[in-house]
Chains A and B, each alone.
Chain A
Amino acid sequence: MTYSVRSATVRFGPTLALDDVTVEVPGGSVVAVVGGDGAGKSTLLRTLAGEVLLDRGTIEAPPRQRLGYLPASSGSWAALTVTQNIDFVAGIYGLGGDQLTARRSELLDRASLTPAADRLASQLSGGMRRKLGFIMAIVHRPALLILDEPSTGVDPVSRIDLWRLASEAAASGTAVLMSTTYLDEAERAAHLVVLDNGRILVQGSYDQVRSGFAGVVTQTDEPVRADWAWRRGRVQHEYWPGAGPPPGTTAVAPDLEDIVIALSLVRRHAGPS
């Protein structure tokens, strides 16, 4: 089963939040949406979650009870324990008894949260709270799992846990749509969508995005054109979209972060349209 939004346009008052966006999410794979804040990531996810209506376009999503959604905000109840949070949500989906007990302990185990089962959600670290939110979104085995920045502000170790949980969900046939600001995470997804100002800058597999990228990225201490350069670690990278870099510069193999920044710069230099 493939879920999708097609030619989606969403306006909030004068703001064009999504502008003719088409994204497909096939069962069994992870689709990552990247972009800065205000790019339209949350809006895109919320259209599929049924929380935002389209002004134009079509949506194909499973019915509510087959949908799992982790919103960008916490997604759990601070005054309930980890177990109570999971059981409450499971109850809404009609899950209970031995079935719930088995499912709960399986998920807690996979998320390395078993030792925290009786802790209040308010006493969890940020990474643990996101993992709890993830479990609550997936406890009823949804057909479509929507994760809004599950890993933002989460430490690198918990981030790997979250990635493992998402890829395991995909391996079992779930269609997973997640947004992230970590570009190394997006590199792993089967398909990635780069949003900027409500529009798609580029989408495809990482290999497709990389091979479709034109121009050269160079590494330098002193950029030639400051408005085409950005900081990478202790050096600067600079993008040469057209004719290529001048002699004497050092070209680097651009990674996804370079590609996304370079494409954003092209969009910025072209001005608002």
Chain B
Amino acid sequence: MTSILLRAEHSTRRFGPFTAVDDVSMQVQPGEVVGLLGANGAGKTTLIRMLLGLIAVTSGRVELLGGPPDRERRRRLGYVPQGLGLYGDLTVRENLAFSAQAYGTAEPALPPALTGHADVLVRALPLGAQRQVAFLAALAHSPDVLVLDEPTSGVDALARAALWDTIRAQAEHGAGVLVTTHYMQEAQQCDRLLLMSGGQLVAQGSEADIVGSTTAVAVRTEDWAQAFAVLNAAGAPVMLAGRAIRVANADPAELQEVLQAAGIEASLQPVPATIEERMLMLARGAEAS
């Protein structure tokens, strides 16, 4: 008996000459929400598909609920893929009935927001409502493991907050959750983070562990748009957080020089780096190599 819900050990997946996932080891335990981060193409979805047994590993090993990811173990899994995995030509009720049958469980009751849509074809629903249906279908059988691939992409702020309430509630009931996201604010809601780049797991742990030795400088100025353009043209790794300009791994004196040469007055201040800045430095490293 093991309490590890999802496990990869030195797992690698190649597609022809391309290595999509490169020697990754990770695990997810009951009651924790693990965030899987990385740029588009970093290998997140391929890793998930291996963990769930939807594609084979080229080498290494994966385990779902303590054994090979077979159909029997997948019964205890709730999975919401990026494409949602619903049948567009079936109604909301038919989709839920189908997945309830497949998992051998009772059909879930519709929340108030969906009751009016019970007999609507799923493809006629707005994306946010489709996402709710996919969540309902994935949660109806009280799964032990929940895997969510960009669950809140394109969803409005209020619905996003509600979906995260659902995710946290699952973890509090003992499920282990693996979730990918591009919203860094969501990453902060996870108990633990994994960062992938170029198929490899490059960092894991808390936000501070992910940020690692990356540093950042905040640039405060009246004309942020102009300063952004100037620093960007100078090749600095510039990021924006709202309208605040930040530069990763930069020397404040050098930045000041560039800004002064363009006639821009600015105050520079070292600040804690963010996960996004670590990702930017990784992307730059990949381009350079």
Contact = CB atoms under 8 A, between A and B. Distances in A.
Given A37-B128, A157-B276, A157-B280, A230 B241 contact: no
In this complex, the interface size class of chain A, counting residues with CB under 8 Å from chain B, is 35 or more
A38 B153 contact: no
Interface stretch (A3-11, A77-85, A148-156): A148-156
A66 B134 CA distance: 41
Contacts of A56: none
A188 B239 CA distance: 12
A203 interface: no
A39 interface: yes
A49 interface: no
A260 B189 CA distance: 20
A38 B165 contact: no
Interface string B50-94: 000000000000000000000000000000001000000000000
Interface string B114-156: 0000000000001111000000000000000000001001111
Interface in A12-50: 35-39
Contacts of A233: 185, 188-189
Given A37-B126, A188-B243, A231 B165 contact: yes
B39 A38 contact: no
B234 interface: no
Contacts of A157: 39, 276, 279-280, 283
Interface in B146-196: 150, 153-159, 161-162, 164-165, 168, 182-185, 188-189
A271 B158 CA distance: 16
Given A154-B182, A184-B241, A36 B157 contact: yes
A225 to B, nearest CB: 15
B239 A160 contact: yes
A265 B188 CA distance: 24
B161 A261 contact: yes
A127 B185 contact: no
Interface string A162-191: 011001100100000000011110011000
A36 B155 CA distance: 6
Given A36-B128, A37-B126, A171-B229, A181 B41 contact: no
B128 A38 contact: yes
A233 B128 CA distance: 20
A168 B184 CA distance: 25
A191 B198 CA distance: 37
Contacts of A187: 242-243
A156 B38 CA distance: 9
Contact of B154 (A163, A181, A260, A261): A181
A188 B242 contact: yes
Contacts of B276: 156-157
B225 interface: yes
A234 B157 contact: no
Contacts of A230: 157-158, 161-162
B38 A155 contact: yes
A264 interface: yes
Contacts of A37: 126-128, 154-156
Contacts of B189: 231, 233-234
A74 interface: no
Contact of A184 (B150, B242, B283): B242
Contacts of A184: 240-242
Contacts of A62: none
A36 B161 CA distance: 12
Interface in A192-239: 206, 230-234
Nearest to A265: B158
A156 B128 contact: no
Nearest to A156: B276
Contacts of B280: 156-157, 160
A153 B155 contact: no
Contact of B40 (A154, A167, A231, A234): A154
A146 to B, nearest CB: 18
A234 B188 contact: yes
A58 interface: no
A157 B31 CA distance: 31
A55 interface: no
B275 to A, nearest CB: 8
A264 B153 contact: no
B287 A112 contact: yes
Nearest to A260: B157
Nearest to A181: B154
B232 interface: yes
Nearest to B41: A125
A256 B239 CA distance: 19
A209 to B, nearest CB: 13
Nearest to B130: A37
Nearest to B164: A231
Given A125-B41, A232-B185, A256-B242, 15 more contacts: A37-B155, A149-B154, A153-B40, A154-B182, A155-B39, A155-B182, A156-B184, A160-B239, A160-B240, A163-B240, A167-B225, A182-B183, A188-B242, A261-B158, A265-B158
Closest 5 CB pairs of A and B: A36-B156, A125-B41, A125-B40, A38-B126, A230-B161
